[in-house]
Structure 1
Amino acid sequence: MSSTQQYLLDTYRSRQHGEPLPPAPGAHDLRLVRELRVRRQFRAVLAGHPARGRMREALARLLHGRRRQAGC
């Protein structure tokens, strides 16, 4: 059963019982991503690492290293 089918079944059941409707699938995805990002930044600060730009720095190092190897 897909998540959409499960949602429709849950919606039907909640209406039959007069309960509030469940949230739609994916309704809180953006909020979850933001909370995960904040948590990762918080843990980085506690560990003494920069909170922002770590991914970009790692990608720059990776790309810069590959460029250097290709030129040799």
Structure 2
Amino acid sequence: MSITQQYLLDSYRARQHGEPTPPAPGTHDVRVARELRGYRQFRAVVAGHPAHGRIREALSRWRGGRPGRGGGGAPGAPPPAGGGPHPPPAGRPPPRPGGV
């Protein structure tokens, strides 16, 4: 039985007994998602972790970048030559200063 069929059956039974109909499936999904996000942020703060940006920081550490900067290289290392976080592709000259 699908969710829609179950909802229709519950609505029919509620009408037969004079009770209010149940909410339609998906009515409170956004509210539940927001409450879950708030709960996870609360738990992070209580545990002493930052409430925001935890996934991005973990991914940048995993990639070997600096936390919060998104760049490449080890923490505290100077940025690579060439003006960007990645070296130029093989066979292409590095970009000129001033973008000309």
Same-fold call, TM cutoff 0.5: yes
Provide, for residues 21-54 of structure 1, a one-character-per-residue CA deviation record: whole Å limited to 9, x for no partner: 1011111111111111011100110111100111
* Identity value in percent: 72
Give the deviation of 1:61 after TM superposition: 3.1
Give the deviation of 1:18 after TM superposition: 1.1
Residue of structure 1 in register with 2:29 after alignment: 29
Q: Which has the higher helix share?
A: 1
CA RMSD of aligned residues (A): 1.8
Give the deviation of 1:17 after TM superposition: 1.2
Give TM-score, length-normalised by structure 1: 0.80
Which of the two has higher C-alpha Rg? 2
Q: Which has the higher contact order (CA 8 A, sep 6+)?
A: 1
The 5 A counterparts of 1:6-45 are 6-45=6-45
The 5 A counterparts of 1:40-51 are 40-51=40-51
Give TM-score, length-normalised by structure 2: 0.59
3-state SS of paired residue (2:22): coil
